[in-house]
């Protein structure tokens, strides 16, 4: 066949192709290595230079014309196939949507989110530690050496002589101080803690805690008081007040217990607050200089404050929950009473 005849035959076959498989067969027939067009290339060596140039150009033009027709036909077939698929897979938007039963959220998660948001707004960062800690970070670096009375109050579960389930999130504070290498720190440390303590309805062997730590130059008890006052008003409402009572913690000096005014009586005294007008919510204090020194700080140059909040206690006060065990019983009826904001 001459080139014009090959071209016409190829264009007709491409036009008659009904699907991509038929079109591929046409392409293999006219554009493969064994096609007549490629066989025509072998005739070039027998032609004179001028004829060879003219004939070669015509072969290229023929091949390009067939390739172009093939691509256009393939695009048309694919478009038709897509249209057919869209019609077959059409969604009836008038049908009712699937309904999902959104379960409630554990109030501990709600309280943790709210407290975290408050302190993030104050410029704090979240620092998370591990549930399994060493005796050194859990006790020693918090100024609780071996045989210290505080260890009896924080009896926990030991995995070995030196590894244990942490009794507070303070080990995360120690690790943050070590990483800061004697520089400023402003963090909150949320997480689970463990103690052998389940004597009544307000205590559990596992509990949630958020501790805060701020270390910088010139920090004193007044900074702590104003920080906690802002925190309490944001969490419980602008009308709530706080008071500080002297206390003792090995890792702070001076140490304070922080109370919030009772929302039931407005601070006048009632059965809920046992007639005092206030309810204890957390412990805090100025970081003990020995703790600073143990963790790489110069107490003459740096100072700071720390505080610890029990999430169960906050949730029980905020939502009127009477039994700490409710947080861990996975009772859907209980959880459905709480929704994320």
CATH number at residue 140: 3.30.930.10
User: How many structural domains are present in the chain?
Assistant: 2
At 284 the pLDDT is 97
On whether both 115 and 170 belong to a single domain, the answer is: yes
On whether both 219 and 328 belong to a single domain, the answer is: yes
Position 50 in a domain: yes
Position 287 in a domain: yes
Position 97 in a domain: no
On whether both 193 and 259 belong to a single domain, the answer is: yes
Mean pLDDT by 10 residues, the chain (341 residues): 77 85 83 76 73 77 84 88 84 74 83 95 95 94 89 86 93 95 95 79 79 96 96 92 94 95 84 87 96 95 96 90 85 82 52
On whether both 69 and 121 belong to a single domain, the answer is: no
On whether both 117 and 69 belong to a single domain, the answer is: no
From 88, 122, 147, the end of a domain falls on 88
From 54, 88, 122, the end of a domain falls on 88
On whether both 267 and 330 belong to a single domain, the answer is: yes
Supply the range of the domain harboring residue 171.
107-335
Asked if 111 and 327 touch (Cβ cutoff 8 Å), the reply is no
Q: How far is CA 195 from the centre of its chain?
A: 27
On whether both 156 and 24 belong to a single domain, the answer is: no
Position 231 in a domain: yes
At 199 the pLDDT is 59
On whether both 272 and 203 belong to a single domain, the answer is: yes
On whether both 119 and 8 belong to a single domain, the answer is: no
On whether both 54 and 200 belong to a single domain, the answer is: no
Position 234 in a domain: yes
Position 99 in a domain: no
From 32, 54, 88, the end of a domain falls on 88
Position 254 in a domain: yes
On whether both 302 and 240 belong to a single domain, the answer is: yes
On whether both 64 and 191 belong to a single domain, the answer is: no
Position 93 in a domain: no
């Amino acid at each position: 066949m001459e080139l014009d005849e090959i071209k016409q035959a190829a264009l007709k076959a491409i036009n008659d192709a009904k699907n991509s498989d038929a079109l591929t067969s046409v392409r293999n027939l006219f554009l493969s290595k064994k096609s007549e067009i490629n066989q025509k290339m072998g005739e070039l060596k027998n032609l004179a230079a001028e004829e060879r140039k003219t004939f070669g150009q015509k072969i290229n033009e023929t091949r390009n014309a067939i390739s172009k027709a093939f691509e256009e036909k393939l695009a048309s077939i694919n478009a038709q196939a897509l249209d057919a698929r869209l019609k077959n897979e059409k969604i009836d938007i008038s049908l009712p949507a699937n309904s999902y039963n959104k379960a409630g959220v554990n109030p501990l998660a709600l309280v943790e989110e709210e407290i975290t948001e408050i302190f993030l707004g104050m410029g704090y960062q979240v620092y998370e530690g591990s549930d399994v800690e060493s005796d050194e970070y859990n006790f020693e670096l918090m100024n609780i050496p071996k045989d210290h009375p505080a260890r009896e109050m924080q009896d926990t579960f030991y995995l070995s002589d030196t590894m244990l389930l942490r009794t507070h999130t303070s080990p995360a504070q120690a690790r943050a101080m070590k990483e800061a290498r004697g520089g400023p720190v402003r963090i909150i440390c949320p997480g689970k803690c463990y103690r052998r303590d389940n004597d009544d309805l307000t205590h559990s062997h596992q509990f949630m805690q958020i501790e805060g730590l701020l270390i910088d130059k010139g920090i004193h008890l007044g900074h702590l008081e104003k920080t906690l006052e802002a925190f309490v008003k944001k969490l419980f409402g602008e009308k709530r007040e706080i008071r500080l009572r002297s206390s003792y913690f090995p890792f702070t000096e001076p140490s304070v217990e922080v109370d919030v005014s009772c929302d039931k009586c407005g601070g006048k005294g009632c059965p809920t607050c046992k007639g005092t007008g206030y309810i204890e919510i957390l412990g805090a204090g100025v970081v003990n200089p020995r703790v600073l020194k143990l963790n790489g700080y110069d107490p003459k140059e740096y100072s700071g404050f720390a505080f610890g909040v029990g999430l169960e206690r906050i949730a029980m006060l905020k939502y009127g929950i009477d039994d700490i065990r409710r947080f861990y019983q996975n009772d859907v009826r209980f959880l459905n009473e709480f929704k994320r904001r």
